[in-house]
Structure 1
Amino acid sequence: MTDNREEPKQFITFRLGDELFAINVSQVREVLELSEITKVPTAPDFMKGVVNVRGTAIPVVDLRQKFGLPSVENTVNSRILVLELELDGEECILGGIADSVHEVIELDQESVSPPPSIAMRWRSEFIQGMGKHRDQFVILLDIDAVFSSEELALVEPNSSPTTTSES
């Protein structure tokens, strides 16, 4: 008899306020300490600017603001998740500021349930499901659904930042 169970998937967990979120590790390129962010003129409010990652300008968004949470001061625990998203069939690299980043966890399909349809403060189309890890609920994000193509087009670093980068 063959075993048809799917392999567990790996997720990286992070916090925004009291909520624990997770993104599939296949979409997380790296986690960075919060560094200086260069503002970009006429960027949407949720876009904080760009950071220089080994010579490449990566747009950075405030995930709290994107999810409608109140802004807070960044702390020593604040991190930038460098994410790989898909924009009209093309890869888009984007940094998202999280209050803190925790660990990589494995969740099998049996431990993931669909998002509740009511009494959820997060938009259900952003959520792949709800997982449970160490007796705590984890909101599994569909990061490709969080940003629309129009929003991603706005944060592409095509416009000039307000400061010049070093050569």
Structure 2
Amino acid sequence: MGGGRRAAHGDPGADPRPRRPGRPHRVSTGDDVQLVTFRIAGQDFAFNIFQVERILRYDTPAPLPKAPDFLEGILQYQGTAVPLIDLRKRLGVPAPLREETRIVVLQWDGSKLGIVVDAVTEVLQVVATEVTAPPAIVKGLAAEYITGFIVKDGRTIIVLNTGRLLNSQEKLALETAVQPTGQEKTTA
């Protein structure tokens, strides 16, 4: 047990990232929030790190006929078909593919959801009190889609509520597009 280092799985507030030389070990006081930050059309956004499963290089998904515009298609991830949402299209901004374009795989509504973003920028740890409540509407998103804002190093970061990325009609459209006709949903 030497070194005073606590395992991330043994302490829910511990920094879950592996420690690298030169990076001090931080143990949360319980009031810290870790965020995965990313850019879309020059604006900084973030997801809570505990909702992010993995970050992947962009890979062209299998298209789905009659899918909503924001649904890029289906991505095969760890043997499972994962719906892929282009958050850039969802926000109504240009969606060019670049070398930096990434897919953020989220834990979402009991399953997984892939989100296309322009670039993933960093993992940020902030004090929970630095996250401020959102106004009624921001960048075309209603406040219900936003957990809050952080101003860090002169940047405004919009923290998104992953549970509310899609409204109920969009969730239904997603489920309809993803579910093969005439087949029951099965679990492996």
Into which bin does the TM-score normalised by the smaller protein fall? Answer: 0.7 to 0.9
Q: Could you tell me whether the CA contact under 8 Å between 2:136 and 2:142 is conserved in 1?
A: no
Candidates 83, 87, 97, aligned match of 2:106: 83
The aligned amino acid for 1:144 is: G
Q: Could you tell me whether the CA contact under 8 Å between 2:38 and 2:121 is conserved in 1?
A: yes
- What is the CA-CA distance between 1:84 and the residue it aligns to? 1.2
Higher strand share: 1
> 1: CA distance between counterparts of 2:39 and 2:49?
15
More deviation, 106-115/40-49: 106-115
Matched, 1:37 2:61: yes
Runs of 4+ in 1 over 6 A off after TM superposition: none
Matched, 1:112 2:131: yes
Matched, 1:123 2:142: yes
Alignment of 1:31-110 (within 5 A): 31-69=55-93, 71-86=94-109, 91-110=110-129
Matched, 1:20 2:20: no
Answer 1 or 2: higher relative contact order, Cα 8 Å, separation at least 6: 1
The aligned amino acid for 1:27 is: Q
> 1: CA distance between counterparts of 2:90 and 2:172?
15
How many residue pairs match? The answer is 150
> 1: CA distance between counterparts of 2:100 and 2:90?
19
Give RMSD over aligned pairs. Answer: 1.8
The aligned amino acid for 2:75 is: V
What's 2:25 paired with?
none
- What is the CA-CA distance between 1:16 and the residue it aligns to? 0.5
Matched, 1:158 2:183: no
The aligned amino acid for 1:58 is: V
Please, which runs of 5 or more residues in structure 2 have no aligned partner?
A: 1-28, 182-188
> 1: CA distance between counterparts of 2:168 and 2:135?
26
> 2: CA distance between counterparts of 1:25 and 1:41?
32
Please, which runs of 5 or more residues in structure 1 have no aligned partner?
A: 161-167
SS in 1 for 2:61: coil
> 2: CA distance between counterparts of 1:72 and 1:29?
23
What's 2:186 paired with?
none
Q: Deviations over 1:106-144 (max 9, x none)?
A: 1212211111346x3232111111112223111011111
- What is the CA-CA distance between 1:6 and the residue it aligns to? 4.1
The aligned amino acid for 1:10 is: Q
The aligned amino acid for 1:148 is: N
The aligned amino acid for 1:112 is: V
Q: Deviations over 1:49-99 (max 9, x none)?
A: 011113211110110111222x3321000000111112xxxx031101000
SS in 2 for 1:113: coil
